[in-house]
Amino acid sequence: MVKAPRRWLLVLLALVFVMTACTSSLVAFNSSVTESDAYTGTSRDLIPVISESKNCLAVYPDGTMVIKAYRMTENGPVEMTRQTYILYLDELEANYAAEMQKAENFLLSTSDKPAAPPTRGGDSFTWYSQRGSIASYHKTSQKTRISNYVMNSTTNPVAYSVYASKTQGATASISLSAGDKNTLQSITGYPFIGSYTFSQTISCVISPGYTGWIEFYPIMYNSWGYLQDGYTIGYSPFYMIYAERFVDVYYPIELGNGMLDGVFEVKQGII
Would you state the pLDDT for residue 3?
47
pLDDT at 262 over 50: yes
Distance CA 47, CA 17 (A): 38
pLDDT-based confidence at residue 237 (cuts at 50, 70, 90): confident
Distance CA 102, CA 107 (A): 9
**Which range is least confidently modeled, 53-57, 88-92, 245-249?**
53-57
Residues 6 or more apart whose CB falls under 8 angstroms from that of 186 comprise 128
Give CA–CA dist 162/204, Å, rounded.
8
Q: Alpha-carbon distance 202 to 68, whole Å?
A: 10
The C-alpha atoms of residue 130 and residue 225 are separated, in whole angstroms, by 4
For the whole prediction, is pTM greater than 0.75?
A: no
Q: How confident is the model at residue 121 (pLDDT cuts 50, 70, 90)?
A: low
Please give the Cα distance from 49 to 58 (Å, whole number): 5
Question: Does the structure show a pLDDT above 80 at 36?
Answer: no
Closest CA to 255 of 205, 220, 203, 213: 220
Predicted pLDDT at 26 = 25
* Band of residue 271 on the pLDDT scale cut at 50, 70, 90: confident
Which residue type sits at 105?
N
Q: Which of 271, 270, 266, 269 is closest to 204 using CA atoms?
A: 266
* Count of all residues that appear for the chain in the document: 271
Q: How far is CA 41 from CA 108, 135, 147, 172, in A?
A: 20, 14, 22, 11
Answer for the pair 225, 50: CB distance below 8 angstroms, yes or no.
Answer: no
Cα–Cα distance between 219 and 251 in angstroms, integer?
9
CA angle 132, 170, 144 (to 5 degrees): 105
Q: Is the pLDDT at 146 greater than 60, yes or no?
A: yes
CA–CA gap between residue 109 and residue 95 (Å, rounded): 24
* Residue 54 pLDDT exceeds 80: no
- Beta-carbon contacts of 127 under 8 Å, excluding residues fewer than 6 positions away, are 183, 227, 228, 230
Give residue-wise pLDDT tens across range 153-212: 999 999 998 888 999 999 999 999 999 999 999 999 999 987 899 888 888 899 999 999
Query: What percent of the chain is modeled with pLDDT above 90?
Result: 42
Per-residue pLDDT at 101: 72
pLDDT band at 63 (very low <50, low <70, confident <90, very high): confident
The pLDDT assigned to 46 comes to 56
